[in-house]
Amino acid sequence: GESVGLHLPTLSVQEGDNSIINCAYSNSASDYFIWYKQESGKGPQFIIDIRSNMDKRQGQRVTVLLNKTVKHLSLQIAATQPGDSAVYFCAEGGNNRLAFGKGNQVVVIP
């Protein structure tokens, strides 16, 4: 069956540095991927998405990279700010739904 997983449970990053969060997926048929951010007590908030016909997409301070060969997804956050402290989830689309990974805690050190 499909599975989505994150490599590191917690990432501590100095304010102003760049952050990279990695995610592996196993369903090679997936063609849609999303990154969400979840702050304590809130629902997941959409950050950026990418379709399988692309390998890179940029947003405001964020970049998503997709490597279909090794089934790897990453989220890069530029100039990390205290407000970026949260849990980040990758999700892959398939079978009418999104399947989520376990999440990766990002802690920004002022």
Partner 1 sequence: NAGVMQNPRHLVRRRGQEARLRCSPMKGHSHVYWYRQLPEEGLKFMVYLQKENIIDESGMPKERFSAEFPKEGPSILRIQQVVRGDSAAYFCASSTDRGDNSPLHFGNGTRLTVT
Q: Which residues bind partner 1 (CB under 8 A)?
A: 4, 32, 34, 36, 41-46, 49, 89, 93-103
Closest to partner 1 by CB, 76 or 94 = 94
The whole-angstrom separation of Cα 55 and Cα 7 is 20
Is the Cβ of residue 36 or residue 108 nearer to partner 1 in the bound state? Answer: 36
Cβ of residue 2: shortest distance to partner 1, in angstroms? Answer: 11
Q: Least distance in Å: CB of 80 to partner 1?
A: 22
Ramachandran region, residue 71 (left: φ > 0; alpha: ψ -120 to 50; beta: rest): left
CA distance 62 to 75: 7
Query: C-alpha angle 80/83/85, rounded to 5°?
Result: 75
CB-nearer residue toward partner 1: 43 or 110:
43
Tell me how far, at minimum, the Cβ of 49 lies from partner 1, in Å.
Answer: 6
Minimum CB distance to partner 1 smaller for 89 or for 108: 89
Exposed, middle or buried by CB within 10 Å (0-12, 13-18, 19+), for 71? middle
The CB-of-56 to partner 1 minimum distance in angstroms stands at 18
